[in-house]
Amino acid sequence: MKLLNLVRCCSKSRIYLLLGVTGIFNILLGSFFIFKCSGIFEAVLPFISILIGFILIYLFFRYLRKISKIYASKVSSKTAESDGDGFLKDAKIVVIGGGTGLSTMLRGLKEYSSNLTAIVTVADDGGGSGILRQDLGMLPPGDIRNCILALADTEPVMEKLLQYRFTDGMLKGQSFGNLFLAAMNGISESFEEAVKKMSDVLAVTGRVLPVTLQDIKLCAELEDGYIVKGESKIGEHNSFHKGKIKSVYLEPLLIKPCQEAIDAILDADMIVLGPGSLYTSIIPNLLVPGIVDAIKKSKAIKVYVCNVMTQPGETEDYTVWEHIRAIEKHSYKGLVEYCIVNSAPIPDDLKKKYQEEGAAAVAIDADVLERHGIKVLYDDFVCINNNYIRHDTKKLAKVIMDLWENKCYCGRNMEKVV
């Protein structure tokens, strides 16, 4: 009965209740007309009506499930506080980056904290995101979509649907999740609102925020003075010409950050950079005016999660320190306090595969890191997925939360995680 009252008193719940009723009406109406149709073409609209009806009912039950969890968490909050779990759940963690690495880490962190904020780059201009960006004039949805799905409390079949890529026709290579967010953007006043609506529909734990709502272009200056414009062209150009990146910058120069992102950084207990492409996923966020200043002012613990492997076209032959040096070059000296590094060996077959592609395990220059006062957290983070090396999401999340717990409770120096 209390759950029913919670549903009744919430205006958003009334909207979802209306969606459920509309869904039932669509199914009944579609079923009625489909039996009256004489041909397959006449049955198309009733069939679409039935399909929309099932989707609306699904959304209603998803929201009802979310309300149930909120109610259950309120009931058990006192117990959580008494046994210490509430402390970890309240940890305000901000993660900054983009690409596959960020979403991988978020999947693990959401099991520990419900107070997560992902600040995501919008410089992507390649693949399906680039096509939608060019055709619809919207911000690239790909990295945002991945982070939303990583934090979503949804059924496996729904996640598969939103990650599905069309294999034929005009939509070949395009993700259904990108199209979903594009459609949400079409019925919303802004891209920021569209992201929030999609997050609500998928019962996201925490928040996903674009670093800016402006259309930006990532540019790279190479050591030979050559300028490459466009995020997708940077790695592609360097893979052929082997020109090392000197620095990256954004166009236009006057960019307004997302205010919610600034507020989240200032209020954070921990700020985590990476994992992800150094120059095309992590650093672009730091180039948006106001972001670095907020990080500097924040009293949060600052952590960098270093990639397991170097990246062709971006970080060939980079050591751990060279990754951090690039970050600090585009922000300020001393930003990184803790660095999480993989210390496990790479299997020989995968090592050979990556070497053929111009990549290798990131070398750990521990003495240099120590000289710069950076505390290093070592562990075996290697996870092999479809013959690709990724971070083990559970191990990575546990090390991050162990750091937070020990730093706050004991103030211990965790320079090595066993």
Q: Are both 95 and 67 inside the same structural domain?
A: no
> Is 383 contained in some domain?
yes
Q: Are residues 42 and 105 in the same domain?
A: no
Within-domain flag for 187: no
Domains in the chain, number: 2
329 and 386 in one domain? yes
pLDDT given at position 66: 67
Verify that 276 and 330 share a domain, yes or no.
yes
In a domain, 93, yes or no: yes
DSSP letter at 138 equals P
Same domain, 116 and 16: no
Same domain, yes or no, for 296 and 375?
Answer: yes
Q: Over range 63-89, report the average pLDDT.
A: 53
In 131-269, the DSSP E strands lie at: 207-210, 217-222, 227-229, 245-251
Question: How far apart (Å, rounded) are the C-alpha atoms in residues 108 and 127?
Answer: 27
Residue appearing with tokens 């980056």: 97
CA torsion, ordered 246, 247, 252, 256, to nearest 10 deg: 180
Alpha-carbon distances, residue 85 vs 80, 260, 272 (angstroms): 5, 27, 21
Residue by residue, DSSP assigns 311-373 as -TTT-TT-BHHHHHHHHHHTS-TT--SEEEEE-SPPPHHHHHHHHHTT--BPB--HHHHHHTT
Cα–Cα distance list, 25 to 32, 46, 53, 406 (Å): 11, 12, 7, 55
Contacts of 207 (CB under 8 A, 6+ apart): 116, 117, 118, 199, 260, 264
Of residues 81 and 179, the one with the higher pLDDT is 179
- ∠ at Cα 244 (241, 249), nearest 5°? 110
Q: Is the pLDDT assigned to residue 212 strictly greater than 80?
A: yes
Same domain, 36 and 116: no
Tokens of 21: 């009723």
Q: What is the pLDDT of residue 83?
A: 44
> Which residue reads 């050559």 in tokens?
226
Which residue range is the domain that position 63 belongs to? 12-73
**Are the C-beta atoms of 233 and 276 separated by less than 8 Å?**
no
Q: Which of 10-14, 126-130, 389-393 is the most confident on average?
A: 389-393
Q: How far is CA 222 from CA 22, 243, 253, 341, 356, in A?
A: 57, 6, 19, 27, 23
Buried b (16+ CB within 10 A) or exposed e, 23-33: beebbeebeeb
Please tell me whether residues 376 and 403 are part of one structural domain: yes
Both 16 and 105 in a single domain?
A: no
Q: Which residue has the tokens 């010409």?
A: 241
Measured CA to CA in angstroms, residue 407 lies from 23, 285, 301 at distances of 50, 26, 9
Where residue 339 sits, what CATH number does that domain have?
Answer: 3.40.50.10680
Angle between helices 176-186 and 191-201 (to 10 degrees): 120
Strand residues in 76-216 grouped as ranges (E): 93-97, 116-120, 207-210
Pairing mode of beta strands 116-120, 217-222: unpaired
> Tokens standing for 280?
């095309």
240 has a pLDDT exceeding 70: no
SS3 18: helix
Question: Do residues 92 and 59 both lie within one domain?
Answer: no
Same domain, 30 and 108: no
DSSP type of residue 170: G
Return mean pLDDT, the chain: 85
- The alpha carbon of 17 is separated from its chain's Cα centroid by a whole number of angstroms, namely 30
Residue type (1 letter), 202 = L
* Residue (of 306, 320, 226, 322) closest to 274 by Cα position: 306
Classify residue 159: in a domain, yes or no.
no
pLDDT confidence tier of residue 46, bands split at 50, 70 and 90: low
Give the whole-angstrom CA distance, residue 389 versus residue 347. 10
pLDDT tens-digit map of 300-335 = 999 999 999 999 989 999 999 999 999 999 999 999
Establish if 156 belongs to a structural domain.
Answer: no
Does residue 297 sit within a domain? yes
Residue pair 326/284 in contact (Cβ under 8 Å)? The answer is: no
- Higher-pLDDT residue of 371, 173: 371
Give the pLDDT band (50/70/90) at residue 54: confident
Q: Which residues is 384 bridged to in the sheet?
A: 389
The mean-pLDDT minimum among 26-40, 92-106, 240-254, 291-305 falls in: 26-40
Q: What is the pLDDT of residue 3?
A: 44
The overall pTM is greater than 0.85: no
DSSP string, 251-288: ESS--PBPHHHHHHHHT-SEEEE-SS-IIIIIHHHHTS
Reported as a single tens digit per residue, the pLDDT across 396-418 is 999 999 999 887 644 434 444 43
* Any domain includes 151: no
Residue with tokens 């013959």: 387
Give the strand pairing for 388-391 and 382-385: antiparallel
Domain co-membership, 285 together with 352: yes
